[in-house]
């Protein structure tokens, strides 16, 4: 995992197009990056820098609850969404809302996660095992701040990881994530691990083995103020990937707790601090 990640990081540094961005920071950008990882070879946590697994996992559990207020995250020591929240902690109808409470035109709501599970169980060969967060009617007004959009009942930020598609073959569950935009240094390692956690969880619920994760990113970028951090990471030698142990088999996908997950053999290099562009 690290070898592929570092090769794309090097490509961004050496050949990424210099582009302006919403935050005013500036990026080096590539378009249309894709990679795949066989989950049987290890859990895809980067080893060339330590990742904050607590943030990754609690965020995923938060999404699955359908929650859109940072209160739950903060209560569990996670602050990764704080910069975009309204004063009351709300973020508007972001991922959790779209996953569990998609707004239909007739005023009803669809639980996409439950619908996905039903589809995987009853029609495993379907080509429609899809979950989307790109709800055009809820996208933010770009002329307003994230907090103001949340107060107006719109997404504080448009979703980056927009489409999940699942696939069953040879008694294994695989997932492809399509992402419109990806911060290669800070965001993508989190997205990759979150995708792997979700695939493991759903596979367990279905009585399947985890297969592959495939990750396709549109605007793949390295913020210019992450350049020195990226060069430091490139000097490090990858180490063996850790393993994930699911310590319990909950009754449903919505009953997992943080304590149900154990990462063994994770021996990363030290973390590398980098500023978040808001």
Query: Taking a C-beta distance cutoff of 8 angstroms, is the pair 166, 116 a contact?
Result: yes
Query: CA-CA distance, 29 to 20, in Å (whole number)?
Result: 10
- Cα separation, 111 vs 222, in Å, equals 34
pLDDT at 278 exceeding the cut of 90? no
**175 given a catalytic annotation:** no
Question: What does the pLDDT average to over 226-235?
Answer: 98
pLDDT digits 0-9 by tens, 140-196: 999 999 999 999 999 999 999 999 999 999 999 999 999 999 999 999 999 999 999
Beta bridge partners of 244: 263
* pTM (whole model) above 0.95: yes
- 84, 156 contact by CB (below 8 A): yes
Q: What percent of the chain has pLDDT over 70?
A: 100
Reported confidence tier of residue 277, pLDDT bands at 50, 70, 90? confident
CA gap 1, 36 in Å, rounded: 9
Q: Give the pLDDT confidence of 111-124 residue by residue, as tens digits.
A: 999 999 999 999 99
Q: Give the residue-averaged pLDDT of 252-276.
A: 97
Candidate list 138, 160, 175, 192, residue with the active-site label: 160
**Mean local confidence (pLDDT), 28-46:** 98
């Amino acid at each position: 995992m690290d070898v592929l990640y570092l090769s794309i990081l090097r490509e961004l540094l050496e050949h990424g197009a210099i582009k302006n961005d919403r935050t005013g920071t500036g990026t080096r950008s590539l378009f249309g990056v894709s990679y795949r990882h066989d989950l049987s070879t290890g859990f895809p946590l980067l080893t060339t820098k330590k990742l904050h697994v607590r943030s990754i996992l609690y965020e995923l559990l938060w999404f699955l609850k359908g929650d859109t207020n940072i209160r739950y995250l903060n209560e569990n020591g996670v602050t990764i969404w704080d910069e975009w929240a309204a004063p009351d902690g709300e973020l508007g109808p972001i991922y959790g809302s779209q996953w569990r409470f998609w707004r239909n035109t007739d005023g009803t709501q669809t639980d996409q996660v439950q619908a996905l599970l039903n589809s995987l169980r009853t029609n495993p060969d379907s080509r429609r095992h899809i979950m989307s967060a790109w709800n055009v009617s809820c996208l933010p007004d770009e002329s307003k701040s994230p907090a103001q959009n949340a107060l107006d009942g719109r997404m504080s930020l448009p979703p980056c990881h927009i489409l999940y598609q699942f696939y069953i073959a040879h008694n294994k569950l695989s997932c492809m994530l399509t992402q419109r935009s990806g911060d290669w240094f800070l965001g993508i390692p989190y997205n990759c691990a979150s995708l792997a956690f979700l695939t493991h969880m759903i596979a367990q619920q279905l009585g399947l083995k985890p297969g592959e994760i495939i990750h396709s990113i549109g605007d793949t970028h390295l913020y210019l103020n992450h350049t020195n951090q990226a060069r430091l990471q490139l000097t490090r030698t990858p180490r063996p990937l850790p393993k994930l142990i699911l310590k319990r088999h909950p009754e449903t996908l919505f009953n997992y707790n943080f304590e149900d997950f154990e990462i063994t053999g994770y021996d990363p290099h030290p973390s590398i601090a980098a500023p978040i562009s808001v």
